[in-house]
Amino acid sequence: MYGSRGAGVRASVAVVAALSLAGCFGGDDGDGEKNRASGSGITQQPSGTDPFWVNPRGNAAAQVAAYEKAGKDEDAQLIRMIAEQPTGEWIGPENPEREARGFTEAAKEADRDTVLVLYNIPHRDCGQYSGGGAADGDAYRAWIDGVARGIGDRAATVVLEPDAVLHVVDGCTPEEFHGERYDLLKGAVERLGALKNTKVYLDAGNAGWGDPEEIYDPLKWAGVEQADGFAVNVSNFYTTEDSIEYGRQLSSKIGDKPFVIDTSRNGNGPWTEGDEDERWCNPPGRALGETPTTKTPDELVDAFLWVKRPGESDGECKGGPKAGEWWPEYALALAKASD
């Protein structure tokens, strides 16, 4: 799945930029006008439609600037389709407090809510493309504490540990780690949920995964009943319609909890060719999905989010770079398919 140990370095660089942005934003004036980040040419969407923060120093924004400098105006406009939408900020393993503070402070200056993704559970991704995570349970708890201190009382929407519950249920994570994982997830939900303005959504897989009946109890053991809700389709490609149906099935079994959907790359639905086990990894012919918003067609769907940052690789497959690295050719393909 998404991420890699290199994500920590990228996040550290990004947070320096985020810290420098604090004070460079103003909230919208109530008339729906976009806000322009100082010197970036990247704009915020009106908060009435999309309350989430656009990072004007992200990879897509940098690519827009590079294409404009090279005179590739058409490509720049295509990548702007990504750069001007809010995406998840994936907190790295080394400086969680600093990164969380930097992103949430910059968002607060823009009168926006930050979307943070926490992906550092021990034995993450079963040692696959995004393998890694905290060294042990104590290291993970300390990391979560750092994130919580960094967020403080600022607004944040947290997507907690993509695939962590799913990989327990499907047997990918060895059985000896199951009990600890549930304990760590429940502790993270409690720690982050205690923050004044933070919403926590525990990852709950996607519409293409096996039998939803098998994940109800594990979600409860991981603390979903104490969370604000759950997240579906993170870094995946299943359609919004299928994701709503899947989410509603889960919700009916866990107290009618609301959920969020990652719509970042689901415009053309999932890829159905090639190796079934790697259809999720950099599939060709995909498109951007619905843009982030809290105005959804279903009362149980709190928001459409771009949790995955479109244009960043899923891993070293189909010609892609390492997981989490920016891949401009793939970003262009997503945008062209959506234009």
Query: Is 209 annotated in some ligand binding site?
Result: yes
What residues does 198 pair with on adjacent strands?
156
- Which position among 50, 75, 113, 163 bears the catalytic label? 163
Closest CA to 286 of 318, 332, 333: 333
Widest CA span in the chain? 56
The reply to whether 236 sits in an annotated binding site is: yes
CB contact at 8 A, 113 and 107: yes
* Annotated binding residue 90: yes
Among 75, 262, 302, 314, the active-site one is 314
Alpha-carbon span 292 to 306, nearest angstrom: 6
295 annotated among ligand-binding-site residues: no
CA distances from 91 to 148, 281, 286 (A): 12, 21, 26
Answer yes or no: 314 catalytic. yes
Distance CA 116, CA 195 (A): 14
221 is in an annotated binding site: no
Check whether 35 is labelled as a binding-site residue.
Answer: no
And the tokens for 172?
């990918």
Q: Write down how long the chain is.
A: 339
Respond yes or no: is residue 217 known to be catalytic. Answer: no
Q: Are 263 and 303 in contact (CB under 8 A)?
A: no
Distance from C-alpha of 86 to C-alpha of 200, rounded to nearest angstrom: 18
Dihedral of the alpha carbons of 34, 90, 198, 148, in degrees to the nearest 10 = -130
Catalytic residue among 125, 203, 228, 242: 125
The structure tokens 């943070």 sit at 116
Return binding residues for substrate. Answer: 90, 209, 236, 280, 308, 312
Return binding residues. Answer: 90, 209, 236, 280, 308, 312
Active site residue ranges: 125, 163, 314
